[in-house]
Structure 1
Amino acid sequence: MDKAADPILQVLHDYKAAVYAKDVDAFVALYAPDILAFDMWDAWTYEGVASWRRMVEGWFGSLGAERVAVDFSEARTVVSQDLAVVHAFVTYKAVSAHGEELRSMDNRITATLRQTGDGWKIFHQHSSSPIDPASTKVVFKR
């Protein structure tokens, strides 16, 4: 990812860093107050930054000593004056306190951002994984 050439890729970089650090404030700061998230887990939607913050606090709090390493691949962006869209494949890897990979899963992610006085903020995010039609189970490996 060439962050200098595409400021939206910097948002992805900051996402990765915040998740690995389990930094709720840094993670939530990537989002607009009116975030609408269609996430893979638990709730049908998360509406507003307070709802999103509660989800993030639960996620990071559930990790214990583990960390999550995030890797984006094939990120593609479209940027206009004050709106941007990014979509990518994302891998989440659980890492032990000793740096060992414990498990991983792949998702697809799309985010829509708007330019604000505080930089680019995500106001809509959608994550998904395909469903195997034979088993109706989620496919977590690309």
Structure 2
Amino acid sequence: MPLESTPVTTLFENYTSAVLAKDVERFLSLYADDTLVFDAWGMWEFAGVDAWRPMVTMWFESLGDKLCEARFTEVVTSVRDDLATAHAAVRYAEVTAEGEQVDSMMNRMTVVLEKRDGEWKITHEHTSMPLDMETMKGLFDAYDKRDAD
């Protein structure tokens, strides 16, 4: 059953298409200028879209000729007049130009959106994945194994 269209689901659709196109500017246009991003890679936080830009640029450039498909599942949203929140699982899959998946990982994502000047923008994003407490390495496939135990 398709999700009800909300500012969050619309945002996730735009996120997915910007990632697939590796379009840095379109991707960053989803974020408020004063956004705060807690990402899973290397930095404690990215305060503001200008701080977030180099990381996004590096991500898209690191793909080379490959593309990245972002697929959101288990989306739970709450929308009010000018504030929306959501959490979801998101699978990032690298694919070749021929459509062959070569790598993937699953993250957890929580977003806060605010309606500003009539547009919904991400004002906070937090992505994460669980860690193996013995090795302190990310469990990229924990989502797939979560019901196996």
TM-score bracket, normalised by the shorter chain, equals over 0.9
Alignment partner of 1:42: what SS? coil
Q: How many residues align?
A: 141
- Structure 1 ranges of 4+ moved more than 4 A: none
Alignment partner of 1:124: what SS? strand
1:80, 1:14 → 2: CA distance?
20
Alignment partner of 1:43: what SS? coil
2:147 equivalent in structure 1? none
Question: Percent same amino acid at aligned positions?
Answer: 43
1:118, 1:37 → 2: CA distance?
22
2:36 equivalent in structure 1? 36
| CA offset digits 1:80-111 (Å, max 9, x no partner) | 11111110000000001221000100000000
2:50, 2:137 → 1: CA distance?
31
Alignment partner of 1:123: what SS? strand
CA positional deviation for 1:118: 4.7
1:21 equivalent in structure 2? 21
The one-letter amino acid of 2:3's match is D
Alignment partner of 2:25: what SS? helix
The one-letter amino acid of 1:92's match is Y
TM-score, length-scaled by structure 2 = 0.90
Cα pair 2:7 2:84 within 8 Å, conserved: no
Alignment partner of 1:9: what SS? helix
1:125, 1:74 → 2: CA distance?
17
Q: How large is the RMSD of aligned CA atoms in angstroms?
A: 1.2
Q: How does 1:1-142 map onto structure 2 within 5 Å? A: 1-2=2-3, 4=5, 6-141=6-141, 142=143
1:89, 1:8 → 2: CA distance?
14
